[in-house]
Structure 1
């Protein structure tokens, strides 16, 4: 099924802000669900900004969340939508060079999570 124009606008607006694009990129390329506090540290953004961005991405249908104890983890929503698959493919090919610091901080944060 083809997406409606309004749905397409919602997706593109959600991804048009750099922090939201970075969140989606990290979730797609780090192959791990990530909680709010980890995103805050990785992106060096205030909690209220990260929470607001996650809400926008979730409302756009790009993210899902799962509560584990006191933590809420976010991950990329699985979908059969051809449109969303094209969006994910476009985001996933953004150069890692543009995300070097974020990748390093995220890998470090994920390593400390397991301890």
Structure 2
């Protein structure tokens, strides 16, 4: 039961919920600096939130060069499936500004061939 409680507690913060919502809806890995810009949060706060989400086994990280990217942990049980489904059902209208920022950043990253 502790693992389930850890997940629910991790999602009980608006910034962490937004991070998971973004990762669910963009289906793309994203780095700290991109999350900072999209959510207009301080780097320290974003890093702290990512650590909590990682400790709850909701996200994983992969290092590519000097950048660390975060992505959703693949769904491996029914509980994770329902959590992800619930988060993805939050209407995009609740995250319109953040989604526009994120799509713009991802387009820039693609055009430039990576993070600069």
What TM-score bracket applies, with the shorter chain setting the length? over 0.9
Return the match for 1:71 from 58, 67, 76. 67
User: What displacement does 1:31 show?
Assistant: 1.3
Give the match for residue 22 of structure 1: 18
2:31 paired with 1:57: no
- In structure 2, stretches of 5+ residues that fail to align are none
Name structure 1 gaps, 5 residues minimum.
Answer: none
The total of aligned residue pairs comes to 111
| Superposed structure 1 runs of 4+ greater than 4 Å apart | none
Q: Does 2:79 match 1:83?
A: yes
Equivalent residue for 1:113, pick from 79, 85, 109 = 109
Structure 1 residue 93 corresponds to structure 2 residue 89: yes
- Per-residue CA deviation, residues 75-94 of structure 1 (Å, 9 max, x unaligned), is 00013211111100000000
